Structure 1
Amino acid sequence: MNILILGSGGREHTLAWKIAQSKKLTKLFVAPGNAGTNELAENVEIAVNDFEAIKALVLKEEINLVLVGPEDPLVNGIHDFFLNDAQLKEVAVIGPEKLAATIEGSKEFAKEFMLRHNIPTAAYQSFTSINLEEGYSFLESLKPPYVLKADGLAAGKGVLILNDLKEAKSELKSMLLDAKFGNASATVVIEEFLDGIELSCFVLTDGKNYKILPMAKDYKRIGEGDTGLNTGGMGAISPVPFADETFIQKIEERIVIPTVEGLQKDQYPYKGFIFIGLIKVGNDPKVIEYNVRMGDPETEVVIPRIKNDFVEVLEATANQKLDTIALQIDERTAVTLMAVSGGYPEAYEKGKEINGLEKGNESLVFHAGTKSHNGKVQTNGGRVLAVTSYGEDFKDALQTSYKNIKEIDFEGMYYRKDIGFDL
């Protein structure tokens, strides 16, 4: 079958790498893709939100299945666009319909969903510019640190965790009155702070059945010891050493099942990945957030641990037959390290030549922000490459990734040297 992956990051390169191994694949396209996907598929210069251009490509190349990588086109209704078009409605789309995608598109929507279905999460209230003073009062009722979340999509940057009440009030004002995160912060969700260790649970659902994929833990902060600004993720580890069978059972019973059943009860049509951001508080899991796609860089450690023909898994999802699939998981640990551009997550330069990609064959190198230019690979984003390795445990796997990331070089390259420090 002919398959199209939408997106251009490390997640999409990893999915392309996995799908390219399938016996069922005829031809693979990635739009817009990167220098890594270019080696496995045909890159097509189309933006992920250009639905008309995507339609033209799907019809021209007789594409049977579209796998949506990032959240934006899902929140903007790409699945509905296909269903409502006579020429496209038979094409399988992996990713929820627009209403269901609001579970990532709006923090308030997600919180109301959790409340409705008794899914454990932090206590919260939502505020707009109209009730700013009430927001101040709610902050006063909480113990620090204070958690402020822009309601809408803010490219992973709309969450602030602050220790000072005065600063929290000032930031709330800035979000609501000065549009600090644009329209995304027209509504702000203020939450109680949950103290614990975070992890990510990935679920694939066909709208009726579900499969829990390997769990992962990522590292968001730019600085070592989890300090400095938040990023899209500086590294990840799977499986998660502290998530034993008993804890995973709690996640399934208290969170995964109520989530999948809740989507059905509320009639939110969902065929695709659910990324559940969790925190372990004591011995109990609570939900921090939902995303409607795979995480990045977690994809770079989760997908390499799945042994199945991935096209078969996606087909079963599209046809509501996930119950016929038995997931086969590699017992080894996978870890990934993210090499980023100097200055990231603030201002950084693009177009730096990347050297050493042909070395370090013991690791898988997934491209994120890269492009091909005159036969050379150049940087084209903040997060540039993910170096993934297998090992008997996370320390063993990390050793291999650290050894191999040293073979790669570009001007200003930076990576964290302490991934897994807290395990």
Structure 2
Amino acid sequence: MKILVVGKGGREHALLRALLESGQEVELYCHPGSDAIAEIAEPVEAGGVAELVGWMLGKKIDLCVAGEESYLVKDEGLANLCADAGIPCWGPRKESAMLEASKAFAKLFMQRHEIPTGKAWVCESIEEAQDAIGGRFPTVLKFDGLAAGKGVAVCGDEHAANEFLTEVFSRKRFGGGKLLVEQYLEGPEVSIFAAVSGENYEIFTPARDYKRIGEGDQGPNTGGMGAVASRQLVTAEELARIDSEIVKPTVDGLIKDGLEYRGFLYFGLMMTADGPKIIEYNCRFGDPECQAVMPLVQGDLAQYCLEGAQGHLNSELLTFDNGWSVCVVLASAGYPESSSNGDVISGLDELEGARVYHAGTKKEAGQWVTNGGRVLAVVAGAESREVAVEKAHAEAAKVTFDGSQRRADIGILHF
């Protein structure tokens, strides 16, 4: 089976590794890829989405897997162009991917289909946002668009809120766009992933990620400094409620709205005292949650995604390990405000019993060096959370580079 995965980060590295381990003969390609990904998948160059789909036609690609979200809404949309070309794509069409591309679109969808969520106000200026906040703190501010996981701020006071509002409206850090002021919800966060193919869906292993740069959830938001995944993360009763109140109504809502969906769908949830409430959707696997979840997925993922992209979800192709998986991210100096490139990475050959996924690296003169904000993800698993935590942190500590940032409380905090 010839498969192209679209993206270049740690998530795509994890997906490609899982596809390679599917148990059948696969020929893997990736666009744009990375030096690490090139060791298991052939990189593909293309000037845009249309050119990439043209390459897929010429290469007779059997399946396209959307890893990175931007391609789903770029130009005509990756899945849309694949459909026009007759190429199965595991990723939603552009109009459905608006669930992630526009926070306002998603919030209206939730309200329309009575899916539990916090209150929100859409604002087009600093003044409108300040009026919507109305002196209520903490408050949640979200840029209405794609922002690589950095377009959300939980503000504890007026100063923090005004700083973020200035970033959005005056400095236009994320480009032009609106902003949502959202009700602050309290409780433990849980990431739920579902494979969706039309009216059918299957919930994968739940996860919890750690967004802030510093231990104890201090400092600015990042793309994610680590994650823990397990079927034991929520109780059977909690998962049943999440399914009936949030996942199923979302899938039913997509059908009612005429939004075709085939691919992974992420539900960012807050487990409040009133029950689960949805914070946001992502129209792909989370990062770094994917790196934590994929080692727990067993079976033929390649065939599973192909059949799902063709409209049939075959749950018999996969099984899920009931243990725990802990993912520890190593970030470069300056992250998340900036990143340090070219720092030599040492210790990778010393790791035992752990997986390493490359997010921001490149190879120079035979050595791995940093090439981005989040550099590596070290993942270890075990039957118990405590053992998985110990293994993941012990192995991550073996990897060093100048300015390395790593949270020592991944898998410990919030438990």
Does structure 1 retain, via aligned residues, the 8 Å contact 2:296–2:321? Answer: yes
Tell me which amino acid in the other structure corresponds to 1:270: Y
Q: Partner of 2:136: helix, strand, or coil?
A: coil
**1:257 to 2:248 alignment:** yes
1:345 paired residue number:
336
* Shift, 1:168, TM fit: 2.8
Report Cα offsets for 1:241-282 as digits up to 9, x if no partner. Answer: 551111101100000000011011101111101011000102
1:230 paired residue number:
221
Distance 1:407 1:39 in 2: 22
* Shift, 1:308, TM fit: 1.5
2:305 paired residue number:
314
* Shift, 1:408, TM fit: 1.6
**1:22 to 2:22 alignment:** yes
Distance 2:131 2:113 in 1: 28
Q: Partner of 1:413: helix, strand, or coil?
A: coil
* Alignment of structure 1 residues 173-252 onto 2, 5 Å: 175-183=168-176, 186-239=177-230, 241-252=232-243
Q: Partner of 1:182: helix, strand, or coil?
A: coil
Q: Partner of 2:363: helix, strand, or coil?
A: strand
Aligned match for 1:101, one of 97, 102, 124: 97
Q: Share of identical aligned residues, percent?
A: 39
Tell me which amino acid in the other structure corresponds to 1:42: E
* Shift, 1:165, TM fit: 3.3
2:114 paired residue number:
118
1:9 paired residue number:
9
Tell me which amino acid in the other structure corresponds to 2:109: F
Q: Partner of 2:341: helix, strand, or coil?
A: coil
The unaligned stretches of length 5 or more in structure 1 are: none
**1:161 to 2:154 alignment:** yes
* Shift, 1:145, TM fit: 0.5
**1:266 to 2:257 alignment:** yes
Distance 1:327 1:134 in 2: 48
Does structure 1 retain, via aligned residues, the 8 Å contact 2:231–2:323? Answer: no
* Shift, 1:191, TM fit: 0.8
* Shift, 1:374, TM fit: 3.0
* Shift, 1:373, TM fit: 2.6
Does structure 2 retain, via aligned residues, the 8 Å contact 1:369–1:382? Answer: yes
* Shift, 1:303, TM fit: 1.2
Report Cα offsets for 1:142-190 as digits up to 9, x if no partner. Answer: 631121111111222211221223653564365335534321xx21111
Distance 1:321 1:55 in 2: 23
2:414 paired residue number:
422
Aligned match for 1:389, one of 369, 376, 380: 380
Distance 2:165 2:367 in 1: 45
User: Normalised by the size of structure 1, how large is the TM-score?
Assistant: 0.93
Label 1:171 to 1:230 Cα distance change in 2 as closer, same or farther (>3 A): closer
Does structure 1 retain, via aligned residues, the 8 Å contact 2:304–2:314? Answer: no
The unaligned stretches of length 5 or more in structure 2 are: none
Q: Partner of 1:358: helix, strand, or coil?
A: helix
Tell me which amino acid in the other structure corresponds to 1:422: H
Label 1:323 to 1:19 Cα distance change in 2 as closer, same or farther (>3 A): closer
* Alignment of structure 1 residues 359-398 onto 2, 5 Å: 359-398=350-389
Label 1:283 to 1:241 Cα distance change in 2 as closer, same or farther (>3 A): farther
* Shift, 1:376, TM fit: 2.2
Label 1:415 to 1:46 Cα distance change in 2 as closer, same or farther (>3 A): farther
Does structure 2 retain, via aligned residues, the 8 Å contact 1:199–1:240? Answer: no
Q: Partner of 1:274: helix, strand, or coil?
A: strand
Does structure 1 retain, via aligned residues, the 8 Å contact 2:232–2:322? Answer: no
* Alignment of structure 1 residues 42-81 onto 2, 5 Å: 42-46=42-46, 50-76=48-74, 77-81=77-81
Aligned match for 2:133, one of 139, 154, 172: 139
* Shift, 1:347, TM fit: 2.0
Q: Partner of 1:362: helix, strand, or coil?
A: coil
Does structure 1 retain, via aligned residues, the 8 Å contact 2:96–2:261? Answer: yes
Instruction: Report how many aligned residue pairs link the two structures.
Output: 412
